[in-house]
Structure 1
């Protein structure tokens, strides 16, 4: 049985990249497997993910706990481990072989210190007084936690979406501590279209009267604004093809409840469509588990990230890394495109890094890295074991697939 633990640890005072400090930064984390000195794999979660990357043995410390869905530090809102199909005994990231660590990032609301946490100086939640946080801050905090755990080097660091940016920052900032890197469905920076959508999402939150300048704890939460922000995110994560296949223009069932915001009396004349019902249902579920301020902080961190910051180019930023890298991208992903992944792979190659770019044919969209384990698992497993020589990864020299027999899986991340 694979050992699994869940814990929260203070790394003491922490100065953020912005120059502001807090007296104590606590990090929630989970570990899976046994550490042997050279087998650590750090998994970096995506925007609204938690440290609960995989399910532990029944009855272990990492079993889901009851709670209020995250605003007071509980990961129960993600009781379904977010990458359970990839991480675990006998899976792509095999916890009988690797010691897997996943850390909830600062600024989140799943156990690590963030806007909803109590400021010891005031005995009140930080709210909007929490320091601005960056992907660099996430990486520095993770390194300090790993130091405390006695992990001085990583066999690999892997993550998807903004978690992939976290991977890139590890390679850039601590190249001597990483042997292999797997940035999945990510890029060196977010493009202007996605930055624009994120900006609208944040505006939805900050114009909700209940946001109250970020000081809403103990009162009504800005649920309407957060729901709209999350709906924009869902649209960005799905492709046109996947939305057409799943919803089309069908009207929702007669039991579906229309929830217009603001109330629109004329809406009753028109059909309440299946895609609208889907977005409303999942937005309602999201506001029960996530904190609006955290959403503001984490999307800003993602939008701000630029691999080349402080360097002349992406390749210059990666020049210190002498390990190997596997970039994974998906054809239906317009949030982080295959072209962006190809540019990232080219930057690694320009820096002299042994690089593979494996493109997975999928029409699911950005969420493919979460819901297509049959496609994602084999190249990750092969790369962890054999690097760019792995049979299921893209040839680093020719850029062509060695094995392309993985069929896309069309499943919903948000329902059965």
Structure 2
């Protein structure tokens, strides 16, 4: 399979906030051979990277090969058939220009970098694809905030994709998630080592604040049931160390629990691979996104889209809920756009789109092959439009 990775300089870029930079470099990876009409753009989640499958650059940590079970030869997004492109978004820290990049004067941008929006991500991807010689896409597929990015394609470039797929996505965040993201950002900005975002040339970085922000994120990504099953109230092993964060004197009397150990472990891994300022920028972009912005409602926002749409949601996901995916599906449905909302029964929470490829893969593969008529693409039959329950899709339906 042919693979490619690199960085394309798009030149001057005007951000939605009204600021500009003279040179926006976008890091990308591609897989497979382009034949003119088989391109699939994959939009990564909040802290993901362009390395969507395990064939390209050695991106660090969890951002490496983050959808390796979905993208590749013979997989749901089959690189034997499709030319797959994934681009790191502006504001991130995996090769695309962002706060940890060097400005024209040779200094790190830091918080002088312009505010970024999901719309900026979409426009940068369109410009990148133009440079790669890709016109109309076969599909745009995204998970989590990447699903917002995919929906923005349907709104912003309605003629440019045959299919749009939102996996564990939403038209906008709800107040609870906005609140938790705000607390996560304040954990970073309250860290004295954040130094107003100017920490790149210092001896310390705001690792404690970034670690706490990531821990809040992990609680959001798991469901109540999955946390109970994974950890319960169990104490961590005898050799577990409570050294990730300062502890109060009374702590030694109480057990250091499995769930605490898990969160500390995830935080330690994350601060080694991600940038604190980038986390601030990307969460604000996600929080700001509203599909209906500039339109009367969601349906009006996607009314010009000329393709078909698929929403995949998970019953245990309280971050991007099944109800929010149904809102997206209803917007397409109201304008006569062929759409399916495929609800997966799962207790893995928001992480389900990453950890349950056996449930994501079949409907995604069949939708890319045949649209809403794909054999394992099951709609809710508008159950929620009449106040009924969602019709969950069980794993038994996915046998081939």
| Shorter-normalised TM range | over 0.9
Kindly state the Cα deviation for residue 151 of structure 1 after the two structures are TM-superposed. 0.4
1:237 corresponding residue in structure 2: 221
Which SS does the other structure have where 1:124 is aligned? Answer: coil
Q: Partners in 1 of 2:351 and 2:322 — Cα distance?
A: 14
> Structure 1 residue aligned with 2:252, among 259, 265, 268?
268
> Structure 2 residue aligned with 1:143, among 103, 115, 126?
126
> Structure 2 residue aligned with 1:312, among 296, 309, 313?
296
2:36 corresponding residue in structure 1: 37
1:3 corresponding residue in structure 2: 2
User: Is the counterpart of residue 370 in structure 1 residue 354 in structure 2?
Assistant: yes
User: Is the counterpart of residue 195 in structure 1 residue 194 in structure 2?
Assistant: no
Quick check: 2:151–2:291 contact (8 Å CA) kept in 1? Answer: yes
1:240–1:397 CA distance, 2 compared to 1 (3 A): closer
Quick check: 1:158–1:167 contact (8 Å CA) kept in 2? Answer: yes
User: Is the counterpart of residue 107 in structure 1 residue 106 in structure 2?
Assistant: no
User: Is the counterpart of residue 215 in structure 1 residue 214 in structure 2?
Assistant: no
Kindly state the Cα deviation for residue 261 of structure 1 after the two structures are TM-superposed. 3.7
1:72 corresponding residue in structure 2: none
Q: Partners in 1 of 2:243 and 2:96 — Cα distance?
A: 33
Q: Deviations over 1:267-312 (max 9, x none)?
A: 1110000000000011011000000000000000000000000000
> Structure 2 residue aligned with 1:89, among 73, 79, 82?
73
Kindly state the Cα deviation for residue 401 of structure 1 after the two structures are TM-superposed. 6.5
User: Is the counterpart of residue 301 in structure 1 residue 285 in structure 2?
Assistant: yes
Quick check: 1:393–1:403 contact (8 Å CA) kept in 2? Answer: no
> TM-score normalized by structure 2?
0.95
Quick check: 2:244–2:264 contact (8 Å CA) kept in 1? Answer: no
Paired residues, what number? 391
1:380–1:267 CA distance, 2 compared to 1 (3 A): same
Quick check: 2:188–2:206 contact (8 Å CA) kept in 1? Answer: yes
Q: Partners in 2 of 1:85 and 1:268 — Cα distance?
A: 42
User: Is the counterpart of residue 17 in structure 1 residue 23 in structure 2?
Assistant: no
Quick check: 2:70–2:76 contact (8 Å CA) kept in 1? Answer: yes
Which SS does the other structure have where 1:34 is aligned? Answer: coil
1:196–1:78 CA distance, 2 compared to 1 (3 A): same
Quick check: 2:345–2:393 contact (8 Å CA) kept in 1? Answer: no
> Structure 1 residue aligned with 2:333, among 318, 343, 349?
349
Which SS does the other structure have where 2:159 is aligned? Answer: helix
2:241 corresponding residue in structure 1: 257
Quick check: 1:395–1:402 contact (8 Å CA) kept in 2? Answer: no
Quick check: 1:374–1:407 contact (8 Å CA) kept in 2? Answer: no
Quick check: 2:53–2:65 contact (8 Å CA) kept in 1? Answer: yes
Q: Partners in 1 of 2:63 and 2:48 — Cα distance?
A: 11
Please report the RMSD computed on the Cα atoms of aligned residues, expressed in angstroms.
1.5
1:47–1:79 CA distance, 2 compared to 1 (3 A): closer
Q: Which runs of 5+ in 1 are unaligned?
A: 57-61, 65-74, 409-416
Q: Deviations over 1:230-264 (max 9, x none)?
A: 00000000000000000000000011111364431
Quick check: 1:158–1:182 contact (8 Å CA) kept in 2? Answer: yes
1:246 corresponding residue in structure 2: 230
Q: Partners in 2 of 1:349 and 1:189 — Cα distance?
A: 18
Matches within 5 A, 1:62-211: 62-64=56-58, 75-78=59-62, 80-120=64-104, 122-211=105-194
1:95–1:401 CA distance, 2 compared to 1 (3 A): farther
Which SS does the other structure have where 2:311 is aligned? Answer: strand
Q: Which runs of 5+ in 2 are unaligned?
A: 384-389
Which SS does the other structure have where 1:108 is aligned? Answer: coil
Q: Partners in 2 of 1:288 and 1:261 — Cα distance?
A: 16
Quick check: 2:93–2:278 contact (8 Å CA) kept in 1? Answer: yes
Q: Partners in 1 of 2:215 and 2:9 — Cα distance?
A: 34
Which SS does the other structure have where 2:6 is aligned? Answer: strand
Q: Partners in 1 of 2:395 and 2:269 — Cα distance?
A: 36
Kindly state the Cα deviation for residue 55 of structure 1 after the two structures are TM-superposed. 1.4
* Greater shift in the superposed pair: 194-203 or 253-262: 253-262
1:260–1:85 CA distance, 2 compared to 1 (3 A): closer
Which SS does the other structure have where 2:350 is aligned? Answer: coil
1:79–1:167 CA distance, 2 compared to 1 (3 A): closer
Quick check: 1:208–1:225 contact (8 Å CA) kept in 2? Answer: yes
Kindly state the Cα deviation for residue 405 of structure 1 after the two structures are TM-superposed. 3.6
> Structure 1 residue aligned with 2:265, among 252, 268, 281?
281
1:160–1:26 CA distance, 2 compared to 1 (3 A): same
* Greater shift in the superposed pair: 346-355 or 125-134: 346-355
> TM-score normalized by structure 1?
0.92
Which SS does the other structure have where 1:176 is aligned? Answer: coil
2:211 corresponding residue in structure 1: 227
Q: Partners in 2 of 1:398 and 1:105 — Cα distance?
A: 34
